[in-house]
Amino acid sequence: DTEVTQTPKHLVMGMTNKKSLKCEQHMGHRAMYWYKQKAKKPPELMFVYSYEKLSINESVPSRFSPECPNSSLLNLHLHALQPEDSALYLCASSHQQGEAFFGQGTRLTVV
Amino acid sequence: AQSVTQLDSHVSVSEGTPVLLRCNYSSSYSPSLFWYVQHPNKGLQLLLKYTSAATLVKGINGFEAEFKKSETSFHLTKPSAHMSDAAEYFCVVKETSYDKVIFGPGTSLSVIP
């Protein structure tokens, strides 16, 4: 199994809503990532978890809250988002020296 | 700190002609380097990777890249472009010491029939 599975594929939420994005991998990877990608831009790193501990936070606003319940799962909790947070959110995982495997992403629209 | 520069934001080639997409990197340590492709409204697909083995790396769909440490470059090439190669290409650097994976700004490849 070389897949990273993200749910949901699409999400529309209001600025007062609370929602969560989910990501799952069963490749035994030690590192898991959240990226944000705006149209015609490269993915921007948001968070990195290494061995289930948050190792990198790229100064992301607190309305985004990551969680790693176990080595296979990664969540991104969303609260009080702004319209400019609308984007494709990508999850990835990797071994130490290997490539990152990406999910298909969640396309988020904040209204 | 690590960073990636892709010298061309857009490259246009005729079908059947060679492709060259340029990438330069900056890294404090010995990095791993990758090229990913993203077709419109699709996910990211790995084309090839360099992880300190052979400096000339072959990937999928006829692509290859050469790691040149002295030039801090990792340029992507293909001998003959196909229409299906039209997409966005990202050069990516990873510092294995702390799992940080950073994307270059991307190069949009157009293939003219």
pLDDT digits (tens, 9 = 90+) for A28-65: 999 999 999 999 899 999 999 999 999 999 999 999 99
**pLDDT beyond 70 at A1:** no
pLDDT attached to residue B107: 98
Q: Which residue of B has its CA nearest to A5?
A: B43
Is A97 in contact with B104 (Cβ distance < 8 A)? no
Residue B63, chain A, CB below 8 Å: the answer is no
Six-digit token pair at B53?
């083995």
pLDDT above 90 as % of chain A: 92
**Which parts of A9-72 are beta strand (E)?**
10-13, 18-25, 31-37, 44-50, 53-57, 64-70
The reply to whether residue B90 touches residue A42, judged by beta carbons under 8 angstroms, is: yes
Residue A95: the pLDDT is 86
> Residue B102: which of A31, A45, A92 has the nearest Cβ?
A45
Give the span between the Cα atoms of A96 and A25, in whole angstroms: 15
Low-confidence winner among B25-29, B30-34, B68-72, B94-98 (lowest mean pLDDT): B94-98
pLDDT average, residue stretch B60-69: 94
> Which residues lie below 8 Å from residue B27, measured CB to CB, with a gap of 6+?
B2, B72, B93, B95
Q: How much is the pLDDT for B42? A: 84
User: Which of A3, A40, A48, A99 is the best residue to mutate to test the B interface, defined by the most B CB atoms within 10 Å of its own CB?
Assistant: A99
